[in-house]
């Protein structure tokens, strides 16, 4: 007689997490029915009479309901370059004032298809852990008043998982994340290296021979975005032939680009010691062990840390 099935501790924890999420959704529905959500008045915004104060360019991600959005933009005098991965429910858009700019060129970058190294096999060259369906939308705009003046702008939205280094705009990571340190040029901390090592797995979306975990669905429409938080499921440990980058290779890879600077971190850092012990920055509260000399220590503690619109170059 075969032994009865015994779920692993990881599977038990995942089941409990799903149960709690289901209870939370049910509780929220009951609150809606009971009318406990505070009313919110809608505001009407009129176009500015001053043409110098009119928004000229906007970079958006997670754009959906385009059948409603695009006609509204057109009526307001804006053009739009929109792109999304195949079978993706939302995409990225560059919106521009048609009286100020016109499109010269546009390119969509499909990250899943990009090579990060040389090698014989596609899998090794791409070094992919998950099939994410993440993209970048890059648009070259020319001023309508000057053929020799313009701007190149881009937007992207990337998948993040607390146990995955897959972040890399809406970056979706915190200052103590390995991705943040690599991006700004800080040396990796031991805890970050350990996190990177645990993240070096290959998901079933890359290797279809991987056993799909109970309750998971392989190759769903939203790609790796649906992977449950905290636990990496339906994946196996990476092998050398999978091409995932080591810590040293990741560091060298990021050294090829200019180092971005967070306006949040730089601006609030300039106010120190006025901000000391006020609990306003990332180094305060539960993150007191975060060294103040590291980039990101002065990111606001209660806001999004890494919106690309607030990143500049040194």
- pLDDT in tens for each of the 314 residues of the chain? 445 556 667 767 777 777 777 766 655 555 544 555 556 666 666 666 666 667 899 999 889 999 999 999 999 999 999 999 988 889 999 999 999 999 999 999 999 999 988 888 999 999 988 888 889 999 999 999 998 999 999 998 876 555 444 444 556 678 888 988 998 999 999 999 998 998 899 999 899 998 887 655 544 445 445 444 456 788 899 999 999 999 999 999 988 878 888 888 888 888 877 776 777 888 876 777 788 889 988 888 766 544 433 334 43
- State the pLDDT at residue 156: 87
Total domains present in the chain? 2
Nearest to 129 by CA among 195, 197, 192, 199: 199
Pair (296, 187) in one structural domain: no
185 & 263 share domain? no
pLDDT of residue 305: 47
Q: Are residues 110 and 249 in the same domain?
A: yes
Contact 244/207 with Cβ under 8 angstroms?
no
93: number of Cβ within 10 Å:
23
- Return the SS3 of 137: strand
- Residue 288: per-residue pLDDT: 75
Cβ atoms within 10 Å, residue 150: 16
Residue 106 belongs to some domain of the structure: yes
| Strand partners of residue 153 | 139
Element (H, E) at 102: strand 101-110
Q: Compute the distance between CA of residue 257 and CA of residue 54 in angstroms, rounded to an integer.
A: 32
Q: Are residues 270 and 126 in the same domain?
A: no
Dihedral sign, Cα of residue 165, residue 167, residue 172, residue 176: positive
How confident is the model at residue 189, as a pLDDT?
Answer: 92
Q: Which residue has the tokens 């059948």?
A: 67
Q: Is there a single domain that holds both residue 279 and residue 193? A: no
Query: What is the reported pTM?
Result: 0.68
Q: Given this model, what pLDDT does residue 25 score?
A: 63
CB atoms near residue 137 (< 10 Å)? 25
Same domain, 271 and 124: no
- What is the pLDDT at residue 188? 94
pLDDT of residue 164: 47
Using CA atoms, how far apart are residues 283 and 292, in angstroms rounded to an integer? 7
């Amino acid at each position: 007689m075969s032994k009865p099935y015994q779920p692993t501790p990881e599977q038990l924890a995942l089941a409990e997490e799903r149960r709690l999420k289901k209870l939370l959704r049910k509780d929220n529905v009951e609150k809606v029915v009971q009318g406990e959500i505070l009313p919110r008045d809608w505001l009407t915004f009129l176009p500015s009479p001053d043409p110098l104060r009119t928004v000229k360019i906007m970079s958006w991600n997670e754009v959906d309901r385009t059948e409603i959005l695009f006609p509204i933009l057109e009526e307001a005098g804006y053009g739009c370059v929109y792109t999304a991965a195949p079978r993706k429910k939302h995409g990225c858009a560059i919106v521009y004032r048609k009286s100020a700019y016109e499109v010269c060129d546009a390119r969509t970058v499909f990250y899943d298809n990009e090579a990060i190294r040389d090698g014989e096999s596609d899998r090794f060259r791409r070094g992919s852990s998950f099939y994410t369906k993440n993209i970048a939308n890059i648009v070259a705009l020319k001023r309508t008043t000057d053929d020799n003046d313009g701007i190149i702008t881009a937007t992207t939205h990337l998948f993040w998982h607390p146990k995955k280094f897959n972040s890399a705009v809406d970056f979706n990571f915190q200052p103590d994340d390995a991705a943040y340190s690599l991006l700004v040029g800080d040396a990796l901390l031991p805890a970050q290296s350990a996190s990177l090592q645990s993240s070096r797995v290959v998901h079933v979306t890359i290797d279809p021979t991987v056993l799909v975990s109970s309750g998971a669905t392989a190759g769903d429409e939203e790609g790796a975005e649906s992977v449950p938080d905290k636990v990496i499921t339906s994946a196996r440990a990476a092998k050398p032939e999978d091409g995932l980058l080591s810590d040293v290779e990741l560091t060298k890879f990021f050294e090829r680009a200019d180092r971005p600077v967070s306006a949040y971190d730089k601006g609030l850092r300039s106010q120190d010691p006025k901000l000391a012990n006020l609990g306003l920055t990332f180094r305060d509260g539960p993150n007191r062990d975060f060294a103040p000399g590291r980039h990101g220590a002065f990111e606001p503690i209660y806001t999004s840390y890494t919106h690309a619109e607030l990143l500049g170059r040194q």
